[in-house]
Amino acid sequence: MKPNITKSQLYEHVSRIGKALSSPKRLELIELLAQGEKTVETLAAQARIDMRLASAHLRALREARLVETRRAGKFINYRLSGEDVGRLWVNLREVAEEHLVELRIALAQMTAAPDALSSESRASLLAKARSGDVLVIDVRPAAEYEAGHLPFARSMPLAELEKRLADLPADKEIVAYCRGPFCLMSDEAVRLLRQRGYTAHKISDGVSEWLASGLPIERQPPVPDTDGEQLRDIHSGERP
């Protein structure tokens, strides 16, 4: 028996992960899931695709074991199957940004240049947030904030920002973040804040990038809503 016969199977298995990462829609779904557990409907809405198409892509991700499911009543919640999946997404995006000039150009065209975040600037931001020198706001939907957020960050969803402006100190420097470098919500928030006279800027980090750089995130203790969802594993079998 030749060893190479089975050796190529090793690469085939790894390529299953690669295949899962080879579709733009699936990458978008992974980034959304990196913000926390979501239902198929939510994912479809946020990625602006048909729910049936989202379901098909999620199936592909599930078969590559990059996501897991959990039924909660009528809903099925998807989540990344580990922090390493988020790290892989960040790693993939970083390599793309490093080597694909077209991507850098497209990014520069659509988002404001964020503060580059080296490990030192991350540490100093953390220190300034702790001391209260700056106010870090998380402009993602509240559910995503609750699933995990940067330390000392306050939830201030973009959709509610305008009517909650009174909650923000007028004299303090504000730092906004959202889902990551590809997300435009922090840009939008900064635009609005500056227009109203605030000193605001954004950072490109999201929770995944923060985690990938080795820093900790804060999590609300999960509040069991109403009488608690029944948790059951589904999709335990492989495809026939």
Tell me the CA distances in angstroms from 180 to 89, 95, 226, 239, one per residue in order: 11, 15, 32, 33
Q: Which residues contact 16 (CB under 8 A, 6 or more apart)?
A: 63, 64
Contacted entry of DNA, its own copies, none for residue 82, CB cut-off 5 to 8 Å set by kind: its own copies
53 binds, among its own copies, DNA, none (CB under 5 to 8 A by kind): DNA
Rounded to a whole number of angstroms, the minimum distance from the CB of residue 180 to its own copies is: 10
Task: For residue 10, state whether it binds its own copies (rule: CB under 8 A).
Answer: yes
State how far the Cα of 78 lies from the Cα of 239, in Å rounded to an integer. Answer: 18
Type and span of the H or E element at 175: strand 173-177
**116-125: burial string, b at 16+ Cβ within 10 Å, e else:** ebeeeebeeb
For 81, list phi and psi in degrees, rounded to 5.
-85, 5
Selected catalytic residue, list 54, 64, 135, 178: 178
**Contact letters for its own copies, residues 75-114 (x by CB under 8 A):** ------xx-xx-xx--xxxxxx-xxx-xx--xx-xx----
**170 touches which of DNA, its own copies, none (CB within 5 to 8 A by kind)?**
none
Contact between 41 and DNA by CB under 7 A: the answer reads yes
Helix or strand run (H / E) with residue 176: strand 173-177
Decide if 183 is catalytic. no
Residue 212 · residue 121 · CB < 8 Å: no
Residues designated catalytic: 178
Q: Where does this chain bind DNA (CB under 7 A)?
A: 19, 22-26, 39-41, 49-60, 69, 71, 73-77, 230, 235
Q: Where does this chain bind its own copies (CB under 8 A)?
A: 3-4, 6-28, 48, 64-66, 81-82, 84-85, 87-88, 91-96, 98-100, 102-103, 106-107, 109-110, 182, 184
